[in-house]
Chain A
């Protein structure tokens, strides 16, 4: 009899494919994983606790730093929660601005995912392709709000900046450009046999498992569950636009891949309609009391971030600071299924599956 020993391998926190400081302790039998324990918290900054000492405007820059790949949606969820609590009206133009930046952000976020995922799988060109096009969005944001990553753009009751002259036209020009680039991405990667062999059927789970684990976003929709908060519980002005929610069938990495790329196309569709209907004038900031004090009570709102349902639970005691602020971070919740998916997979599939979930460690650790 050959006696084989299990190998305890520490993947991360410093590892090129954990997308930041995330750590998984895996037990390997040869190259097959018998047990996986995710360890998180290396990027924990205590955002929720810090928020208890800050007023609502001050929390907005902190939300930038949670999901730093998609800061606009995180900005939005907090402002949206507070507005809902206080019953504030947001001007139409501001809603349009928010929607446009959120959809641009969704594209940018999926581009980062696409590039890094292919980097995980071993192709390095897609990363540069994706970042070249993301750069255009980032520059648009830079022009709009003066930052390239941590925008701090939204405010309770509106947005900080109106679009600069010519900005909307730049967005309009970007849409057909991105559509053509999306086709290029498909040509470069999607048909590649090696790529398909790598991700087809990997990390598959069924709809019930996905719901049991509380997954959301592409991770849930890849199993065929039609749940997109933009459609299911419309917020902002999403109900005015036509778009489809791409769904998968098999719940594997390949479906998640296709869904994310298709979501880029759908976002472009929304953007196309939004820039056409963009109101020609109007305020971007509603009437907001000088000090923002939501009435005592509790409220939860969730919106669809590129990664899934991002939610904020505000407990207010009627003060300028929240009594308790809890973020439902999709990366964190989606990560729960990881140990289950990894058992019986190889070391190589660990990277494929982890990448397929699409986590941002800033959001996981918050």
Chain B
């Protein structure tokens, strides 16, 4: 599939690419709809509730109804808001969230763009969303939104650094920034996947990734008990929906990225299970990470902003650098 990208660009090809983009968009939207549904279900079960069950069979249409409600809601723009930026921010947040999905490989054959700096592309683009969140907070002209936006800027910049450095170990081991190569090079047995050899990097990556997602326990930008709703406090209707959508598309992206980088992508945990299609393994690992995100959301309290910064700069960053160093030493001594 990825090889099509190498062909000369014709109208037919362009249409094909566009169609694939639309299909991916539909898949992602479907994922977001049901991720929200299952998040509410799972958290409900963990809290002795049964979660949404009123709309459609077993409540399956609950998220659809919520989205329909958001789309029909009045779009309010505060009078004193910076109108242009206020309108721009949700779109700006969403576009990179969707664009990073291009480099995720799902199986050996199923992937969209085969970029040899795929990982760098992912990290670089996802940084743009920070700007959008700051813009949203700033342009709302609301003090809570401003505080949320500022927190978000500080948080996402601080955690981007350990996030990138934590995967350097993986890059060194596989010698490539291409996500397909990285996934492909992980071994057949599950202990050969990167998460065990790179256990330090894996832990740092997971913590930094959750923080990048602005999810509990790092949901300070929207900390509803302090900042009411943080950066999107003034947003309503579909603009608010876009921010929500961004958050969940990043959940999708991070879960997929973790699977590819650390959990062996489409590999089966044991070679004798190879007859199960790779996409199934990918989805299983992917779902586990998504479930893990819901699970910690149901359990953990929120960390404080100064502790968040301390954790990022004083713990995660040194540990991530140490991991790079250790990997280098290991590669030099044993592999070369």
Distance in angstroms between the alpha carbons of A118 and B298 in the assembled complex: 12
User: Using an 8 Å CB-CB cutoff, how does the interface string of A103-139 with B read, 1 for contact, 0 for none?
Assistant: 0000000000000001111111100110010000000
> Is residue A2 within 8 Å, beta carbon to beta carbon, of the partner chain?
no
- Say whether, besides A125-B46, A128-B48, A346 and B306 are in contact (CB < 8 Å): yes
A1-34: which have CB < 8 Å to B? 7, 9, 15-17, 31
A116-168: which have CB < 8 Å to B? 118-125, 128-129, 132
Task: Find A9's partner among B46, B143, B225 (CB 8 Å cutoff).
Answer: B143
> Is residue B305 within 8 Å, beta carbon to beta carbon, of the partner chain?
yes
Q: How far is the CB of B125 from chain A (nearest CB, A)?
A: 29
| CB-based nearest B residue for A121 | B301
B227-256: which have CB < 8 Å to A? 227-228
Most chain A CB within 10 A, of B143, B225, B302, B303, is at B225
Do A123 and B299 have beta carbons less than 8 Å apart?
yes
Do B147 and A197 have beta carbons less than 8 Å apart?
no
Task: Find B301's partner among A16, A118, A128, A350 (CB 8 Å cutoff).
Answer: A118
Distance in angstroms between the alpha carbons of A124 and B216 in the assembled complex: 10
Q: How far is the CB of A333 from chain B (nearest CB, A)?
A: 25
- Say whether, besides A119-B225, A128-B47, A348 and B304 are in contact (CB < 8 Å): yes
Do B298 and A31 have beta carbons less than 8 Å apart?
no
Task: Find B298's partner among A17, A124, A347 (CB 8 Å cutoff).
Answer: A124
- Say whether, besides A119-B225, A128-B49, A132-B48, A197 and B304 are in contact (CB < 8 Å): yes
Write the residues of chain B forming the contact surface with A, with a CB cutoff of 8 angstroms.
43, 46-49, 143-144, 147, 151, 216-217, 219-220, 223-228, 298-307
- Say whether, besides A16-B224, A17-B225, A188-B299, A122 and B48 are in contact (CB < 8 Å): no
- Say whether, besides A120-B225, A125-B298, A128-B49, A31 and B305 are in contact (CB < 8 Å): yes
> Is residue A195 within 8 Å, beta carbon to beta carbon, of the partner chain?
yes
Q: A7-B143, A197-B307 given. 6 additional CB < 8 A pairs?
A: A125-B46, A194-B302, A198-B303, A346-B304, A346-B305, A351-B225
A contact residues around B151 at 8 Å (CB): 31
| CB-based nearest A residue for B298 | A125
Q: How far is the CB of B43 from chain A (nearest CB, A)?
A: 8
> Is residue A58 within 8 Å, beta carbon to beta carbon, of the partner chain?
no
Task: Find B147's partner among A31, A125, A188, A349 (CB 8 Å cutoff).
Answer: A31
| CB-based nearest B residue for A116 | B225
- Say whether, besides A7-B143, A198-B301, A122 and B49 are in contact (CB < 8 Å): no
> Is residue A192 within 8 Å, beta carbon to beta carbon, of the partner chain?
yes
Q: How far is the CB of B52 from chain A (nearest CB, A)?
A: 15
- Size of chain A's interface in residues, with CB distance under 8 A? 30
Do B47 and A348 have beta carbons less than 8 Å apart?
no
A contact residues around B303 at 8 Å (CB): 194, 197-198
Do B225 and A16 have beta carbons less than 8 Å apart?
yes
Do A348 and B305 have beta carbons less than 8 Å apart?
yes
State the main secondary structure of chain A at its contact with B. helix
- Say whether, besides A128-B47, A132-B48, A197-B307, A122 and B301 are in contact (CB < 8 Å): yes
B contact residues around A346 at 8 Å (CB): 304-306
B contact residues around A122 at 8 Å (CB): 216-217, 219, 223, 225, 300-302
Distance in angstroms between the alpha carbons of A198 and B302 in the assembled complex: 8
| CB-based nearest B residue for A350 | B226
- Say whether, besides A31-B147, A347-B226, A194 and B217 are in contact (CB < 8 Å): yes
Distance in angstroms between the alpha carbons of A347 and B224 in the assembled complex: 12
Write the residues of chain A forming the contact surface with B, with a CB cutoff of 8 angstroms.
7, 9, 15-17, 31, 118-125, 128-129, 132, 188-189, 192, 194-195, 197-198, 346-351
Across the A-B interface, the 7 shortest Cβ-Cβ residue pairs: A122-B302, A128-B47, A123-B301, A121-B301, A17-B225, A122-B301, A348-B304
Do B223 and A348 have beta carbons less than 8 Å apart?
yes
Name 25 A/B residue pairs within 8 A (Cβ), A-sorted: A17-B225, A17-B226, A31-B151, A119-B225, A122-B217, A122-B300, A122-B302, A123-B216, A123-B300, A124-B298, A125-B43, A128-B47, A129-B47, A132-B48, A189-B301, A192-B301, A194-B300, A197-B307, A198-B303, A198-B307, A346-B306, A348-B220, A348-B223, A351-B225, A351-B226
Distance in angstroms between the alpha carbons of A7 and B217 in the assembled complex: 27
Distance in angstroms between the alpha carbons of A129 and B151 in the assembled complex: 30
B contact residues around A192 at 8 Å (CB): 300-301
Do A195 and B147 have beta carbons less than 8 Å apart?
no
Do B223 and A125 have beta carbons less than 8 Å apart?
no
B contact residues around A194 at 8 Å (CB): 217, 300-303
Do A348 and B226 have beta carbons less than 8 Å apart?
yes
Distance in angstroms between the alpha carbons of A31 and B46 in the assembled complex: 34
B contact residues around A351 at 8 Å (CB): 225-226
Do A121 and B225 have beta carbons less than 8 Å apart?
yes
Do A125 and B47 have beta carbons less than 8 Å apart?
yes
- Say whether, besides A17-B226, A122-B225, A349 and B304 are in contact (CB < 8 Å): yes
| CB-based nearest B residue for A8 | B143
Q: How far is the CB of A42 from chain B (nearest CB, A)?
A: 17
A contact residues around B219 at 8 Å (CB): 122
A contact residues around B144 at 8 Å (CB): 9
Q: How far is the CB of B206 from chain A (nearest CB, A)?
A: 15
B contact residues around A129 at 8 Å (CB): 47-48
Do B217 and A16 have beta carbons less than 8 Å apart?
no
| CB-based nearest A residue for B144 | A9
Most chain B CB within 10 A, of A122, A125, A192, A198, is at A122
| CB-based nearest B residue for A348 | B304
Distance in angstroms between the alpha carbons of A212 and B299 in the assembled complex: 38
B contact residues around A349 at 8 Å (CB): 304
Q: How far is the CB of A52 from chain B (nearest CB, A)?
A: 39
| CB-based nearest A residue for B307 | A197
Distance in angstroms between the alpha carbons of A348 and B300 in the assembled complex: 16
Q: How far is the CB of A194 from chain B (nearest CB, A)?
A: 5
Distance in angstroms between the alpha carbons of A305 and B154 in the assembled complex: 43
| CB-based nearest A residue for B304 | A348
A contact residues around B228 at 8 Å (CB): 15-16
Do B299 and A125 have beta carbons less than 8 Å apart?
yes
Q: How far is the CB of A190 from chain B (nearest CB, A)?
A: 12
Distance in angstroms between the alpha carbons of A256 and B62 in the assembled complex: 41
A contact residues around B220 at 8 Å (CB): 348
B contact residues around A17 at 8 Å (CB): 225-226
| CB-based nearest A residue for B220 | A348
A contact residues around B300 at 8 Å (CB): 122-123, 192, 194
A contact residues around B305 at 8 Å (CB): 31, 346, 348
